[in-house]
A and B are shown apart, each in its own frame.
Chain A
């Protein structure tokens, strides 16, 4: 549909050929196309923003999950982790060497950790130990002159607490009243 007549142009009478050929349909078509493009751009923008928002939510959820699990671990460790006992405590220490021979020590100590008790025994003179400080704590390499060399023959000194395999290194193993500690020379397979 044209502006003035079915045949006539919107810019009829104008000298310019370009403007002369523009019809109302063309103008409407361009406007419609422009509007469609705009809607399309908005939709794409909304989708991208939605995706970004969704990803952001997922990241936040992940970080919350990490923080929650971390908090649970810390609470459990605080509640059930090793606890030291102050004051004087009775103890028994046994050293079982590579030949299965046992040497026993008994007494009372104020040490909170096993390494402190070992230092006390060493100061008394009848007990000696050597160890290295690793990232996992004190690693015992020798007791009473008997060296366990894992690199050589997969030998190591095991710690038993009240008959069960110790769960902590000597410097983080708490000493409780009446505890029975064993240092046993063992070999891996």
Chain B
């Protein structure tokens, strides 16, 4: 069972400077991992990193996901995928956060595989508004080979990197929490 190490915040201030710095580091890690694996189609660490960060930092990772979408938009320009990114990563974060009490290594490995398989289907939702069911369905079907690759790679990466990443992130979260306490104390 994984317990969230969410830091308690001052009720007046939503984020402390320490939170913002931590979120900046999370964003940097996600961006660097994305750039590093860009040469492999649909192989990414973003899903796993969002998952691990959510388990250790809680819902403040939602802000990181929005910042991630903004950085990607600044780099690649505005397109349909911006809308997809604005709901797909928050959906993952919310799911991971609200199932964290039942979560385990295998639970998250299976979830990341299913998330990869369903990524195209989730991304096709905006096309329902643009061109109806037929356009959304055709768009989804065209990307199925990449969805399969996405799911398989997510599963493998989660099996390999989940435990070390969880250990490192948990240590960072504890360090930040303790630093916050000693500062306020």
Contacts and interface: CB of A to CB of B under 8 A. Distances in A.
Interface of A: 55, 58-59, 62-63, 65-66, 69-70, 73-74, 76-77, 80-82, 134-136, 154, 164, 167-168, 188-189
Chain A residues touching B, majority SS:
helix
B138 interface: yes
Interface of B: 39-41, 76-79, 104, 106-107, 109-110, 113-114, 117-118, 131, 135, 137-139, 141-142, 144-148, 151, 155
A134 B40 CA distance: 9
Contacts of B104: 55, 58
Given A135-B39, A136-B41, A77 B114 contact: no
Contacts of A134: 41
B138 A58 contact: no
B148 A135 contact: no
A58 B107 contact: yes
Contacts of B79: 188-189
A68 to B, nearest CB: 10
Contact of B147 (A58, A65, A73, A136): A73
A121 B131 CA distance: 32
Contact of B114 (A66, A74, A76, A188): A66
A167, A168, A189, most chain B CB atoms within 10 A: A167
A65 B138 CA distance: 24
B78 to A, nearest CB: 4
